[in-house]
Amino acid sequence: MPRTAPLQLFQRDHCPLCDRALEVLARARAPEFETVWIDDDEALEARYGARVPVLRRGDGGELDWPFDADAVRGFLAG
């Protein structure tokens, strides 16, 4: 069974907000994360389509866009 990364970013191709989220994560010095592309996945599209980008912790907590570096740091602190 594959191990799920402790942090995931749900995003889609050609998404300017997703590009901005990547910049925010870099500023927040977020740890390594897994990118989950929702394109071509009906279940993920239904769950995250209107919300991307979404940052998800391993415990299931989610942070919806818009977020800034301070919000990311607080979210990562739990």
- For the chain, the structural domain boundaries read 21-77
Residue 2 has pLDDT above 80, yes or no: no
Tell me what the pLDDT averaged over the chain comes to: 93
CA distance 61 to 24: 18
Mean pLDDT of 46-74: 97
Residue 27's contacts (CB-CB under 8 Å, 6 or more residues apart) are: 69
pLDDT at 5: 60
Write down the pTM of the prediction.
0.90
Residue 30 has pLDDT above 60, yes or no: yes
Options 3.40.30.10, 3.30.70.1060, 3.40.50.2000, 3.90.550.10; CATH of 21-77: 3.40.30.10
